[in-house]
Amino acid sequence: MILLSSSEVGFITDFSSYQALMVGLGAIPGAWLRLRVVNHFEPLVPRKHWGTFVVNLVAAFALGLVLGLERAGRCDSSAGSTALILLVGTGFFGSLSTFSTFAVEVLATLREHRWGEAVLLTAGSVIAGLLVAAAGFSLGLVDA
């Protein structure tokens, strides 16, 4: 299960710290891209939460695809496949999407008594999120 021997990578001495490195390396561009997209949407739309909505949907589709490919047996059980799933799935797309910002944004609409917008944001995120995650998952399962 060792992808690289410890002499080749130096400071990485065991497999689990290699996995941790993959998760961390994926998380940085994921979180960074989320910040850029949310800041980009801010002047275009009156409410900031639609930027979060967009990154969440993109990530849900992509993570669905990753899981679908894994389930379809496209990814073998080698250390390389595991590392790639951790880098792209858990690290990058897991960090690209966020629940805490979504929760706080829904809370803000509720506190301002914008009930319609709260329902639209919550139901829209969940329904669209389920649909795109299912689409990605199904696409991953398709026999190519």
Return the number of the residue (7 or 67) whose C-beta is nearest other proteins.
67
Check binding of 115 to other proteins (CB under 8 A): no
Cβ-based neighbour number of residue 124 at 10 Å: 14
Binding mask 32-71 for other proteins (x = CB under 8 A): x-xx--------------------x--xx-xxx--x----
Return the number of the residue (3 or 27) whose C-beta is nearest other proteins.
27
The length of the chain in residues reads 144
Q: Which stretch binds other proteins (CB under 8 A): 5-13, 19-27, 43-51, 77-85?
A: 19-27
Check binding of 31 to other proteins (CB under 8 A): yes
Q: Which residues bind other proteins (CB under 8 A)?
A: 20, 23-24, 26-28, 30-32, 34-35, 56, 59-60, 62-64, 67, 86, 90-91, 93-104, 106-107, 110, 122, 125-126, 129-130, 132-134, 136-137
